[in-house]
Chain A
Amino acid sequence: MRIRLEPRPEPSRLAGWLSPLIAAAATLVVGFVLFSALGKDPWQAFHVFFIKPVSTLYGVGELLLKAGPLMLCAVGLSVGYRANVWNIGAEGQLTMGAIFAGGIALAFHESTSALVLPLMIVAGAAGGMAWAAIPALLRTRFNANEILVSLMLVYVATYTLSFLVHGPWRDPEGFNFPQSTMFGDAALLPNLLPETRLNAGILLPLAAVAVGWVFVSRSLAGYQMRVAGLAPAAANYVGISAPRTVWIGMLAGGACAGIAGVNEIAGPLGQLQPTASPGYGFAAIIVAFVGRLHPVGILFASLLMSLLYLGGESAQMGLALPSAVTGLFQGALLFFLLASDVFIDYRPRFGGRRRAARR
């Protein structure tokens, strides 16, 4: 029996919704095979990976805590991605946001003012935007590829942070550990759910999802970004400025990533450390696509991705599996998602067609 792909007259909405589910299912199948090959009982492994992490209130708090930065970065990135502006440097913009906000926190270390935290958020957004502005400027001025520039700036940002905590911002009483002093209470996000680490920072990603949803589905600017992504000639035909598209896309991604950086240092970390993120900025690229570049989809995709992080940790502890298993699941998920997206524009045809003699 032959399977052929036949173009659909119109893209299928059903397939659009099913595609992430097919991808998730295929990822689970890979996990099943993988765990079996490693000599683990797959059912037990799945339990350890996907159920155990969220079986306690603390676990749920952790799930949301990790989903937050993913959600923020992904919503910001999706604004640009819809317009074919490929910012893949959210990790660096997140780090730069953490540096800017950390600078504020350290400068006002003694302050108890309620303004410190909002100031940190503004500074974090500004830091992320400043970092994203570099590829935007180079792209609009010199047509430099924003993918390469934003990616390379990730390393500049992480080494800048590393330099700061090894040098000027190192805690003098910190036994020479490369980290800043612990922030004052005024620079820390208040706890939201007792007996968990979940803090008020989760409200920012949720707000970003809401704003992102309005921008994407209701605003003229969001619509024009979509036109620019789908048909550049049509965008030029109606005078949608290509540089403006690049700037909006890059700055939205930078601002959101920068705020995600604030959430990290003012939340679970409570200080500046050599790294501000375990790769949220890169994982957010996957989240953005699994969520179909739509804010609501991103909300769910970030929870799934967060679960993969927790499951990976849980599998390290409970099953003695290497941490690489997390990256493997992330990669498999994105791979299968892109593959099953084929069904949006094509439908499979099984067998048949014998009468159209094919010789």
Chain B
Amino acid sequence: MTDAPRLHLAGITKRYPTVVANDGIDLDVRPGEIHAVLGENGAGKSTLMKIIYGVVKPDAGSIAWDGKRVAAFTPARARRLGVGMVFQHFSLFETLTVAENIVLALDHDRAGPGLPARIRDVSERYGLPLDPDRRVHSMSVGERQRVEIVRCLLQDPRLLIMDEPTSVLTPQAVEKLFETLRRLAAEGCSILYISHKLDEIRALCHRATVLRGGKVTGECDPRHESSTALARMMIGGDLPHPRHRAARPGGAAMLVVANLTLPAADPFGTGLHDVCLGVHAGEIVGIAGVSGNGQAELLAVLSGECRLADPGGVVIGGVPAGRQDAGARRALGLGFIPEDRLGRGAVPEMSLAENTLLTAHRQGLVAHGFIRNDAVRAAAAATIKEYRVKAGGPDAIARSLSGGNLQKFIVGREIRQRPKVLIAAQPTWGVDVGAAAQIRQALIDLRDAGAAVLVVSEELDELFEICDRIAVIAQGRLSALRPASETNAAEIGMLMSGSFIAPGTHGGRQFSPAGAIGAD
């Protein structure tokens, strides 16, 4: 360790009005090192990355680059030094081509007529094949991520920040990404890898800095640590494991969709083709798939946010409900946890008490059309307590909660209504590990109480952990359901690339997720 570290942070502190996001953080990243920053949601990872990228100014502490202290770390300065960042949520223009999107991000001296050739060159060198002339809207999420990565690589980065890069990828695509990152590191580029997925960090990273509550709680070599040890550092305790009893087969079909075909509502949407699905009482069915393959459309049809012309299109508890709106379906015993919390699952400007009323008003919270304020507040308080929502109380405004806490609140609100059918979209997305385990346990308990549960998730681990049967959605088509015990991640990953779709039935959209193994 005689070399100066590529990046050296000392005593970085950043306070926000209500929280200390970073509290005296020290961090060294050496040249050619893949360095994990591990922590639960709200541990301060994002703030730290924004400081390194120059977007946020720390209140205290110093930053040194290659051993030299850098006074003012602005985004322009960071880019000149060679910091590149691949964000979790992409910032690409769908109607532009790959090359056009890349030009927008480059400095003038780098963007020249030779750019398409350089894109091809760089992307092939790192195993990320890209066609510079292709328009982004026709690309899968994995391919879009390649565009983001290539965009960074063209700027000759010396430190690449990857923010939860695998959350949108199939298992095969993850492996491919890791190869690229290892090659980059071998060439001397440092990589900061942010994630809460312990297995990935153990497989990829050379060193890990663990954050908890804005402080560094540990540094280790993840290759030599067990997942349990890493989790303990991250959450400060043991990871709860869900109790999972075998499903009792033979329950009545509670949620049935038969041969549903629905054209895409907008040019960049996904149409549904011949979708068949049956969820029975007492089981959890999982739908895997890379987002953008028709999940949103299917969920809208199931929830009643998108109504069908045919009443029999969706059958809930034996009642044809295709034409009913979301409220009428809830009266049939349907509960729904949507993937967007703010603005859909909860009204941002309203208090948690008022947001309880949003879906739970059939639970005795309203008498003769009038709101029973005491009952509403009591229900909100019970949800907050039972699901350990970190909030000021029933009067806290939904917008003021962190994403994970609001998610816990919405999950609690829906499950506490004891629905006969519960649909959960990305139920643990952005939720810390402890709370995710609690939410999964609550879903299993609901199943054991006899409810039919449908979980749509991009996290295969989660699906295998809680589901009894699993199907895959790809290009708006749903594969056959198969028992979770009779399949595995590799097989599901193959299905995610669309391998189950008969050749010739492809829509006009060309589709090949990153790293898809020659399927058809």
For A, the interface residue count at a CB cutoff of 8 angstroms equals 24
> Residues of A contacting B345 with CB < 8 Å?
234, 237
Query: Smallest Cβ distance from B63 to chain A, in angstroms?
Result: 14
Determine whether the beta carbon of A239 is less than 8 Å from that of B336. Answer: no
Q: Is A339 an interface residue (CB 8 A)?
A: no
Q: Is A207 an interface residue (CB 8 A)?
A: no
Determine whether the beta carbon of B370 is less than 8 Å from that of A220. Answer: yes
Determine whether the beta carbon of B371 is less than 8 Å from that of A218. Answer: yes
Query: Smallest Cβ distance from A320 to chain B, in angstroms?
Result: 48
Alpha-carbon gap, A138 to B387, bound state (A): 45
Determine whether the beta carbon of B371 is less than 8 Å from that of A236. Answer: no
Determine whether the beta carbon of A237 is less than 8 Å from that of B361. Answer: no
Closest to A217 in B: B371
For B, the interface residue count at a CB cutoff of 8 angstroms equals 38
Determine whether the beta carbon of A239 is less than 8 Å from that of B329. Answer: yes
Task: From B47-55, B253-261, B352-360, B481-489, give the one contacting chain A.
Answer: B352-360
From B326, B346, B370, B371, A239 is in contact (CB under 8 Å) with B326
> Residues of A contacting B399 with CB < 8 Å?
10
Task: From A223-231, A281-289, A303-311, give the one contacting chain B.
Answer: A223-231
Q: Is B17 an interface residue (CB 8 A)?
A: yes
Alpha-carbon gap, A221 to B347, bound state (A): 16
Determine whether the beta carbon of B343 is less than 8 Å from that of A9. Answer: no
Determine whether the beta carbon of A234 is less than 8 Å from that of B400. Answer: no
Alpha-carbon gap, A226 to B358, bound state (A): 11
Q: Is A1 an interface residue (CB 8 A)?
A: no
Determine whether the beta carbon of A238 is less than 8 Å from that of B371. Answer: no
Q: Is A219 an interface residue (CB 8 A)?
A: yes
Determine whether the beta carbon of B18 is less than 8 Å from that of A237. Answer: no
| Mask of A186-218 contacts with B, CB within 8 angstroms, 1/0 | 000000000000000000000000000010001
Determine whether the beta carbon of B343 is less than 8 Å from that of A220. Answer: no
Q: Is A11 an interface residue (CB 8 A)?
A: yes
Alpha-carbon gap, A240 to B325, bound state (A): 8
Alpha-carbon gap, A322 to B31, bound state (A): 77
Determine whether the beta carbon of B338 is less than 8 Å from that of A237. Answer: yes
> Residues of B contacting A220 with CB < 8 Å?
357, 361, 366, 369-371
Query: Smallest Cβ distance from B95 to chain A, in angstroms?
Result: 24
> Residues of B contacting A227 with CB < 8 Å?
347, 350, 358
Query: Smallest Cβ distance from B383 to chain A, in angstroms?
Result: 16
Closest to B373 in A: A218
From A11, A223, A237, B303 is in contact (CB under 8 Å) with A237
Q: Is A357 an interface residue (CB 8 A)?
A: yes
Determine whether the beta carbon of A231 is less than 8 Å from that of B400. Answer: no
> Residues of A contacting B397 with CB < 8 Å?
10-11
> Residues of A contacting B120 with CB < 8 Å?
none
Q: Is B124 an interface residue (CB 8 A)?
A: no
Determine whether the beta carbon of B330 is less than 8 Å from that of A238. Answer: yes
Given the known interface contacts A221-B369, A356-B57, the answer about A234 and B346 at a Cβ–Cβ threshold of 8 Å is yes
Query: Smallest Cβ distance from B353 to chain A, in angstroms?
Result: 11
Q: Is B393 an interface residue (CB 8 A)?
A: no
Given the known interface contacts A219-B369, A233-B343, A356-B57, the answer about A239 and B328 at a Cβ–Cβ threshold of 8 Å is yes
Q: Is B187 an interface residue (CB 8 A)?
A: no
> In chain B, residues 338-395, which have Cβ atoms closer than 8 Å to a Cβ of chain A?
338, 340, 343-350, 354, 357-359, 361, 366, 369-371, 373
Binding site for A on B (CB under 8 A): 17-18, 57, 71-72, 303-305, 325-330, 336, 338, 340, 343-350, 354, 357-359, 361, 366, 369-371, 373, 397, 399-400
26 A–B contacts from the bound complex (CB under 8 Å): A11-B349, A218-B373, A219-B370, A219-B371, A220-B361, A220-B366, A223-B357, A223-B371, A227-B358, A230-B348, A231-B343, A231-B344, A231-B349, A234-B344, A236-B326, A237-B303, A237-B326, A237-B338, A237-B344, A238-B326, A238-B358, A239-B325, A239-B330, A241-B325, A241-B327, A357-B71
Beyond A227-B350, A237-B326: 13 further Cβ-contacts under 8 Å? A10-B397, A218-B370, A220-B369, A221-B369, A223-B354, A223-B371, A227-B347, A230-B348, A234-B343, A236-B326, A237-B336, A237-B338, A239-B329
Q: Which 3 A-B pairs have the closest CB atoms?
A: A239-B327, A239-B326, A239-B325
Binding site for B on A (CB under 8 A): 9-11, 214, 218-221, 223, 226-227, 230-231, 233-234, 236-241, 356-357, 359
